[in-house]
Structure 1
Amino acid sequence: MPSRIGRRRPVTYLLGEPVDDYPAYAPESQRGHALRITEIGEPVLHTPARTVTEFSTPELARLIDDMFATMDVAEGVGLAAPQVGVDLRVFVYDLTDDRGDRHVGAVVNPQLEMDLEADPETEDEGCLSVPGAYVPLVRPGGATIRGVDQNGGPVQLEATGYLARCFIHEAQHLDGVLYWDHLTPEQQADALRQRDEQRADVLANRHEIALELEKTPPEYPKEPAGAK
């Protein structure tokens, strides 16, 4: 029998804490409704979001549930509240890193600190608000998020690699900054070309996944609501 030395089981971290027996879809996703994802050019995406001042409310819990469901229907790994049309400082995430570990959570009023001393990393990056477009983008290799959970409890998350990229992407959404804003004019033109070519197929796929997950598919306009 081959040796098991050196093997490790992947770990699931819920807001940075290891948990056992976590479901394939977060409980929030199972409860939530799939919403339309706002698209580049819509004002809510390009305006800083408001600080959350009330915690442990049904409204905040419902928003987080719906964000998880919307993210899963769109096959995303992160989603910010402005992407469902809500100008509040909230983001959710559910991703598997390069080690096979899963990271899940919802962060309220996040403050981002990028580790500028970490080696920068260049990876293809996309955004659910620019459906179908992926462009190489340099990001810092590490980041720290400080904020609170939906009940107002403190949260501090350290991240490297793919997780750090996700945190940076989502936290910047809440300042009205998209990955798009870091691209050269040529890259922006390429992203819009990809979006125009892929959008219909991406939205059709979201429709099918919503049905598979027993969610009512959100309705999207034929042309992007914020078309540039």
Structure 2
Amino acid sequence: MAMREIRTTGDPVLRTVCDPITVIDDRVRTLVADLVETVDYEGRAGLAANQIGVSLRAFSWNIDGDIGYILNPEIVENSDELQELGDEGCLSVPGLWYPCERPAYAKAVGTDLEGNEVVIEGEEIWARLINHEVDHLAGKLYLDRLSKDARRAAMRELRASLEA
């Protein structure tokens, strides 16, 4: 297990569609251990594998002390109802928080290291987490989901922070 460095905006791995995990081997076990250790830090809610440089479909979470992981997650349900517009941030886009529209409820299904089904679901922060992390695995950042005006402001702020 190791605390891994978080890849940030501009790293091409963040824009790569992650491959499904087809074989559970030592590499995948190490990945899961690293995801869990790296997310187990104050202020971190979720972490996708590509955020630590591994282009495989897995993510970990840390919500109110509930720490876990899921392999090959697929969103099987998103409510039509949206949650109140809330600011969203990302470890790969440090320091930026912008209002991002997300479903009020989400449910994802995947597996654990033993091949057992894992179901994660919930409202508000859980729905935001599930959609945010599955977006990462599809090579998307929350910035891609912002309104036109918010995205323009975020990109301006991001460019300014990179120039500083």
TM-score normalised by length of structure 2: 0.88
Unaligned stretches of 5+ in structure 2? none
Aligned to 2:91: 128
Letter in 2 for 1:84: I
- Write the deviation string for residues 55-113 of structure 1: whole angstroms up to 9, x where unpaired: 2x2221211121222223473110000000100000000112xxxxx432110000013
Q: Identify if the C-alpha distance between structure 1 residues 141 and 42 changes in structure 2 by more than 3 Å, giving closer, same or farther.
A: same
* Deviation for aligned residue 1:117: 2.9
1:67 alignment counterpart: 35
Q: Which amino acid aligns with 2:33?
A: D
Larger Rg: 1 or 2?
1
Structure 2 vs 1, CA of residues 115 and 73 (structure 1 numbering), >3 Å: closer, same or farther? Answer: closer
Instruction: Give me the whole-angstrom Cα distance separating, in 2, the residues matched to 1:196 and 1:71.
Output: 26
Give the corresponding residue for 1:219: none
1:17-50 Cα shifts (integer Å, max 9, x gaps): xxxxxxxxxxxxxxx3122211122221112100
Q: Whose strand proportion is higher, 1 or 2?
A: 2
Q: Is the 8 A contact 1:132 1:194 kept in 2?
A: no
Q: Compute the displacement of 1:120 (Å).
A: 3.0
Q: Which residue of 1 aligns with 2:51?
A: 83
Contact preservation (8 Å) 2:36, 2:67: no
Measured on the aligned residues, the alpha-carbon RMSD in Å equals 2.2
Q: Is the 8 A contact 1:38 1:84 kept in 2?
A: yes
Indicate how the Cα distance of structure 1 residues 190 and 74 shifts in structure 2: closer, same or farther if over 3 A, else same: farther
**Contact 2:7/2:51, CA 8 A, preserved across alignment:** yes
Partner of 2:16 in structure 1? 47
TM-score (norm 1): 0.65
* Equivalent in 124, 145, 152 of residue 182 of structure 1: 145
Opposite residue 28 of structure 2, the aligned amino acid is L
Identity of aligned residues (%): 34
Q: Is the 8 A contact 1:133 1:192 kept in 2?
A: no
- State the one-letter code of the partner of 1:41: G
Distance 1:187 1:117, change over 3 A: closer
What corresponds to 2:115 in structure 1? 152
